[in-house]
Amino acid sequence: MKSYFLRRLLLIPLTLLGVTLLVFSIMWNVPGGPMEEDLQKKMGGAGEKNGSSTRSREQAGSSLKPADLLELEEQYDRDKPMMRMYAEWLGILPRDMASGMTKVGVAFPKGAKEVEIAMPGTEQVVKVTLNESGFTVTPPEGVNFEGWKVRLQTPEEQAERWKARVKEVPLKEAPTPRAVLYKPVYDGLFEGSLGMSKNYQEPVWNMILDRMPVSIFYGLITMILVYGICLPLGILKAIKHRTWIDNASSVIVFFGYAIPGYALGSLLVVFLGARGWFPLGGFTGEEFPNLDFWGKVKDLANHAVMPLICYMVGAFAFLTQIMKNNLMDNLAADYVRTAVAKGVGFRQAVFRHAFRNSIIPVATTFGSNITMLVSGSILIEKVFDINGFGLLQFNSLLERDQYLVMGLVTLSAVLMLLGNVISDLCVALVDPRVTYN
């Protein structure tokens, strides 16, 4: 069994690489991202879309220079091939910037052989001089220049980037050489960093950790309530099959199975929240920091009632039916009938013999609850304006924030893979027939 679980754990990094590479390539190649939108604005595309621009696309793009295009690509980390950028995100290759620093590019004036670049975070300048062998760099005096580098982007390279990015607009004027000051630093996933959010200008790790307590709160309480209610209810429904208890609870169960959580949330907001019975949304109220302990508990409970109902409704119905159906199958099995015929009490036959076999399908899904603990629900958090992990995923996709999306996907994938291993372990603990040898 140890070797089996060791192999499963060793497969996690390989699976994670495949998942992250797939998502990274999709985010990279799907058109219409933030960089394309900014490029359209610089070229007058936004005005054409709204019908307010009368200039042709060629005329609108004539004011855009190759240096402007390169600055835009550097801003959104699109100035290198996709696999190079993926390797930098992993931390296999160094990034051109570290947290809190940025690379700076300056184009040489036409006919000039020297250009000055301001060092980020200082008032000092670095001089770059063109010569026959390439270029020389003169660092500022009294400033630690260790680790900083300069690369030169030739006019030919800039023309190629222009042709690849802005095909329909001809290059009106030959570009001049451009010097880029940067500091290569290993700052990727292997170093424990998920990058910097482009839209929020915050480290992705910090954004995730800030919202983690909210999602863990709802996920943990939902899991406790679901298992604490569904398992006993499923047992009761199986024992009282076709009685009024079974029929009455089935109405509630199938109602919960049929209605989506976010749709129920909209109804609760209209019929309960709008009448002042519960807060309309949010994790806590505005006066939460000023309340005493019991006041905070009450405020948190009032805000949590409606979202928890929505979180529970789908899982509640699913788990109850699994427990009932499997227990009924085992109660009708030969080994249970034989045990009862030999004098074993019905209660003992249910809980000592049938229940353990009936819990096996439930154990197979237990590991997935780890993902539920933090992932939340995008739509439910959107309905109740809960600033949790789910709403963060929704906003990151809506805004096409590549590094934030990658960070969220990475965490979700790791939790999902660990959950599968935990599910296998739970099955082995519950079912003695499973050895994984």
- CA-wise closest residue to 161 among 33, 27, 35: 35
CATH class, range 204-430: mainly alpha
Please give the average per-residue pLDDT across 286-314, as a whole number. 83
The pLDDT, as a whole number, for residue 51 is 44
Measure the CA–CA gap between 193 and 91, rounded to whole angstroms. Answer: 8
- How far apart, in whole angstroms, are the C-alpha atoms of residue 98 and residue 43? 30
Looking at residue 24, what is its pLDDT? 92
Q: pLDDT tens-digit profile of 194-244? A: 888 888 888 889 888 888 888 888 888 888 888 888 888 888 888 888 888
- pTM, full prediction: 0.81
User: Measuring CA to CA, which residue among 190, 211, 217, 220 is closest to residue 404?
Assistant: 211
* The pLDDT value given to residue 227: 85
The answer to whether the beta carbons of residues 409 and 396 sit under 8 Å apart is no
How far is residue 15's CA from residue 413's CA, in Å, rounded to a whole number?
Answer: 9
Q: Name the residue type at position 320.
A: T
pLDDT at position 48 over 50 = no
Write out pLDDT tens, residues 252-274.
Answer: 877 777 778 878 888 888 888 88
Q: What pLDDT is recorded for position 437?
A: 63
Average pLDDT over residues 18-24: 92
| Strand, helix or coil for residue 171 | coil
What are the domain boundaries of the chain?
Answer: 66-193, 204-430
Q: What is the reported pLDDT for 45?
A: 52
Q: How much of the chain, in percent, has pLDDT values that exceed 90?
A: 5
Q: How confident is the model at residue 98 (pLDDT cuts 50, 70, 90)?
A: low
Q: Which two tokens stand for residue 293?
A: 């302990």
State the pLDDT confidence band at 92, using cuts at 50, 70 and 90. very high
Tell me the three state secondary structure of residue 206.
helix
Closest listed residue to residue 260, CA positions, set 317, 186, 334? 317
pLDDT in tens, 52-89: 444 454 455 456 777 778 888 888 888 888 999 999 99
Question: What local confidence, expressed as pLDDT, does residue 436 receive?
Answer: 63
pLDDT tens digits for range 199-208: 888 888 988 8
Higher pLDDT, 143 or 93: 93
Question: Tens of pLDDT along 353-363?
Answer: 788 788 888 87
H-helix or E-strand containing 134?
Answer: strand 134-138
C-alpha distance from residue 75 to each of 196, 256, 367, 381, 407 (Å): 12, 47, 40, 31, 19
Distance (Å) of CA 12 to CA 15, 367, 406, 414: 5, 15, 17, 7
The per-residue pLDDT for 374 is 66
Cα 273 to Cα 261: distance, rounded to the nearest angstrom = 16
- Residue 18's pLDDT is what? 92
* 404-431 tens-digit pLDDT: 999 988 988 888 888 888 887 877 777 7
pLDDT band at residue 46 under the 50/70/90 scheme = very low
Contacts of 253 (CB under 8 A, 6+ apart): 316, 317, 320, 321
Q: Tell me which of 172 and 323 has the higher pLDDT.
A: 323
Whether 215 and 370 have beta carbons less than 8 Å apart is answered as no
Look at residues 88, 73, 56 and name the one whose alpha carbon lies nearest to residue 164: 73
Among residues of the chain, what percentage have pLDDT more than 70?
Answer: 92
Please list the residues that pair with 114 across neighbouring strands.
129
Q: Does the pLDDT at position 32 exceed 70?
A: yes
